[in-house]
Amino acid sequence: MEKIMIIEDNVDLRCLLTKHLEKYGFNTVVVENFDVILEKFLEEGPDLVLLDINLPSFDGYYWCRQIRKHSTCPIIFISAREGTMDQIMALENGGDDYITKPFSYEMVIAKIKSHLRRAYGEYASSHGEREISFFGLTYLPERMELRFRSHSIELSKKEALLLEVLLKRGEKVTSRDRLIEKMWNTDMFVDENTLNVYITRVRKRLSELGIHDAIETVRGVGYRMRHTWEGTE
């Protein structure tokens, strides 16, 4: 069964979460030393992380960013903070979802199952590493790595999600709403300017590989990939 890491400094809540998760058959890993969260994560290799924001030394946003340098596993923030900005910060720093305290344990279980299905279920029976190619530009989702000719770069999670959608669609136009839905997977409002920021970032990353003007803006609709460089698939 999948392994869930719990990063929560409230001992009582931590114990209750562990109890409910194990009731549903999940393996749990509890962090007790909050100075070595990343080391514990790398050692255990969990399939999903439940992460509080208010932690000793460094907050959950910081640790989420550190984890994202090594893994794309789902990260669900659990916090008493109810502000919209806190939830946006969680998503911007690499989180996949946000649950406010107090919460229903059944809701936590449902969200965990949902994110595990999205992250692993669709490709559970796949053999070998997936590749998405577009005229010689190759993206490896499991590594969040983009390759072109003899060069490669690593992408952040949001950059990777954006580029994966565009590469899969190829020269078909992808709407802004669809990109927002795929990148944030949330019912919360996400400002379109935030999407603009990531479009700019991905264009810059492509330019590092010598690829320019590959993401075309289709005014009033969305974006699509264009083959603007020499070479074929």
Give the span between the Cα atoms of 58 and 185, in whole angstroms.
Answer: 26
Categorize the per-residue pLDDT at 232 as very low, low, confident or very high, splitting at 50, 70 and 90: very low
pLDDT at 7: 97
Range of the structural domain that residue 51 is part of: 3-123
Same-domain status, 116 and 150:
no
Where is the domain boundary, 96, 123, 150?
123
Contact 5, 21 (CB under 8 A): no
- Concatenating the DSSP letter of every residue in 33-99 gives -TTSHHHHHHHH--SEEEEESS-SSS-HHHHHHHHHTT----EEEEES---HHHHHHHHHTT-SEEE
The model's pLDDT over 60-98, given as tens digits with 9 standing for 90+, comes to 999 999 998 888 789 999 999 888 898 889 988 989 999
Same-domain status, 211 and 161:
yes
The CATH number given to whatever domain includes residue 98 is 3.40.50.2300
The CATH number given to whatever domain includes residue 142 is 1.10.10.10
Contact 148, 191 (CB under 8 A): no
Same-domain status, 96 and 156:
no
Q: Can you tell me which residue has the tokens 């952040």?
A: 156
Categorize the per-residue pLDDT at 37 as very low, low, confident or very high, splitting at 50, 70 and 90: very high
Categorize the per-residue pLDDT at 58 as very low, low, confident or very high, splitting at 50, 70 and 90: very high
Contact 130, 145 (CB under 8 A): no
Give the span between the Cα atoms of 122 and 155, in whole angstroms.
Answer: 22
Give the span between the Cα atoms of 195 and 95, in whole angstroms.
Answer: 16
Query: Is the pTM higher than 0.85?
Result: no
Same-domain status, 198 and 110:
no
The model's pLDDT over 140-186, given as tens digits with 9 standing for 90+, comes to 887 888 999 888 898 888 899 899 999 988 889 999 888 888 888 76
DSSP 123: G
Same-domain status, 111 and 220:
no
Give the span between the Cα atoms of 32 and 103, in whole angstroms.
Answer: 22
Please list the residues that pair with 225 across neighbouring strands: 215
Where is the domain boundary, 123, 158, 188?
123
Contact 208, 159 (CB under 8 A): no
Q: How many domains does the chain contain in total?
A: 2
How long is the chain? 233
pLDDT at 189: 64
Does the structure show a pLDDT above 80 at 11?
A: yes
Contact 4, 27 (CB under 8 A): yes
pLDDT at 72: 79
Does the structure show a pLDDT above 80 at 191?
A: no
DSSP 122: G
Q: Is the dihedral of CA 103, 85, 198, 143 positive or negative?
A: negative
Where is the domain boundary, 54, 88, 123?
123
